[in-house]
Amino acid sequence: MSLQVWVDGKHVDKERATVSVYDHGILYGDGVFEGLRLYSGKIFRTEQHMRRLFDSAKAIRLQIPYTAEQMTAAIYETARINKLTDCYVRLVVTRGIGALGIDPMKCASPTVFIITDLIAVYPKELYEKGVPVIVSSIVRNHPNALSPRIKSLNYLNNVLAKIEANDAGVPEAIMLNSAGNVSEGTVENIFLARDGVVFTPSLSEGILEGVTRGVMIELCKRLDIPIVERVVERHDLYICDECFFTGSGAEVMPVNKIDGRLVGNGAVGPLTKKLTDAFHRYVREE
Ligand code: PMP
């Protein structure tokens, strides 16, 4: 049986799971989404993901036609049908089918779909040694244009940063905000460490409030590792001892080189190792 995708309440074969060319999600990137994970058959941090989804939808004046409980049940049902207990989940809500023209009021009802599938953001072997990255010339969305806290279907600037990384022959790019300070990766939050202190850009730096970021901050506190949310400058990237990305898709990915500068001595550092181990233990325990 082909992989089943949940589309507006029905299970559809992956090959037949399509949306209309009149859907404003396609025509205007008008919609929101979530990326979640199932570990050992359980959705990791359901409430936080659902909260962010509903917050994102509220910010763009999109009324989701299901409750968080209904969508959670749909995720579990879809994963069960696909016999998946450890997988990635993509939950998308678009403005729905409408007329040509931007007006969202002309869309009758949102389109909702759920994909449960395996994901490999990076090849497995890279997790051992980390990835080299560049700092992108593409600036992260200004919060007054489109808040990066909205997980919207508008990812073009992140896509352009990823293309820049591809052109440079590296797997990922770090994006700066309009003030020239560090925001995040194209699909992950970023953490650095220097002299035993872990730090990460504050929410006010124009970043997505990552669920994995929140878990990492909690784990630092639990392990008595000093953690600070602050302004992070490009220079901090060049002189840090350790650096890693966090995200539901990528999980924890060490960074070993930034714009040609080795991170520490280029090997995965002790705090990164400790936090990565703690993260993998935690997601199975919770
Ligand atoms: N930043 C961006 C831009 C992202 O797309 C993601 C992935 N959702 C993240 C950070 C990480 O967020 P989370 O830990 O909630 O997956």
pLDDT digits (tens, 9 = 90+) for 209-242: 999 999 999 999 999 999 999 999 999 999 999 9
Residue nearest atom 9 in ligand 1 by C-alpha distance: 188
> Pocket of ligand 1, candidates 90, 183, 208, 211: which has the most ligand atoms within 8 Å of its Cβ, to mutate?
208
Q: Would the CB of 152 count as within 6 Å of ligand 1? A: no
User: Any idea of the CA torsion for 89, 90, 91, 92, to the nearest 10 degrees?
Assistant: -170
Calculate how far, in angstroms, residue 153's C-alpha sits from the geometric centre of ligand 1.
Answer: 13
Q: Confidence band (pLDDT; 50, 70, 90) for 267?
A: very high
pLDDT digits (tens, 9 = 90+) for 167-184: 999 999 999 999 999 999
Residue 82 and residue 116 in contact, taking contact as beta carbons nearer than 8 Å: yes
Calculate how far, in angstroms, residue 28's C-alpha sits from the geometric centre of ligand 1.
Answer: 21
pLDDT > 90: percent of the chain: 98
Q: Confidence band (pLDDT; 50, 70, 90) for 286?
A: confident
Residue nearest atom 4 in ligand 1 by C-alpha distance: 187
Strands 4-7 and 10-13: antiparallel
Supply the residues annotated as catalytic.
151
Q: Would the CB of 278 count as within 6 Å of ligand 1? A: no
pLDDT digits (tens, 9 = 90+) for 114-171: 999 999 989 999 999 999 999 999 999 999 999 999 999 999 999 999 999 999 999 9
Q: Would the CB of 210 count as within 6 Å of ligand 1? A: yes
Calculate how far, in angstroms, residue 163's C-alpha sits from the geometric centre of ligand 1.
Answer: 18
> What letter does residue 9 receive in the DSSP assignment?
T
Distance (Å, whole) CA 24 – CA 19: 10
Residue 185 and residue 191 in contact, taking contact as beta carbons nearer than 8 Å: no
Calculate how far, in angstroms, residue 247's C-alpha sits from the geometric centre of ligand 1.
Answer: 5
Q: Would the CB of 213 count as within 6 Å of ligand 1? A: yes
Overall average pLDDT of the 85-97 stretch: 98
Exposed (0-12), middle (13-18) or buried (19+): which is 198, by Cβ within 10 Å? buried
State the sign of the Cα–Cα–Cα–Cα dihedral 142, 146, 152, 158.
Answer: negative
Q: Confidence band (pLDDT; 50, 70, 90) for 285?
A: confident
Residue 31 and residue 153 in contact, taking contact as beta carbons nearer than 8 Å: yes
Whole-prediction pTM? 0.97
Query: Which atom number of ligand 1 is nearest to the Cα of residue 213?
Result: 14
Q: Would the CB of 211 count as within 6 Å of ligand 1? A: yes
Mean pLDDT of the chain: 97
Q: Confidence band (pLDDT; 50, 70, 90) for 206?
A: very high
End-to-end CA separation in angstroms for the chain = 32
87-109 b/e (C-beta count within 10 Å ≥ 16 → b):
bbbbbbbbbbbbeeeeebeebee
Q: Would the CB of 247 count as within 6 Å of ligand 1? A: yes
Residue nearest atom 12 in ligand 1 by C-alpha distance: 210
Calculate how far, in angstroms, residue 99's C-alpha sits from the geometric centre of ligand 1.
Answer: 31
Strands 31-39 and 42-43: antiparallel
Q: Confidence band (pLDDT; 50, 70, 90) for 189?
A: very high
Query: Which atom number of ligand 1 is nearest to the Cα of residue 186?
Result: 3
In sequence order, what E strands does 99-232 have? 111-117, 131-135, 172-176, 182-185, 189-194, 197-201, 227-230
Query: Which atom number of ligand 1 is nearest to the Cα of residue 35?
Result: 8
Residue nearest atom 3 in ligand 1 by C-alpha distance: 187
Strand-pairing partners, residue 172, are 133
Residue 1 has pLDDT above 90, yes or no: no
Overall average pLDDT of the 194-218 stretch: 98
Query: Which atom number of ligand 1 is nearest to the Cα of residue 211?
Result: 15
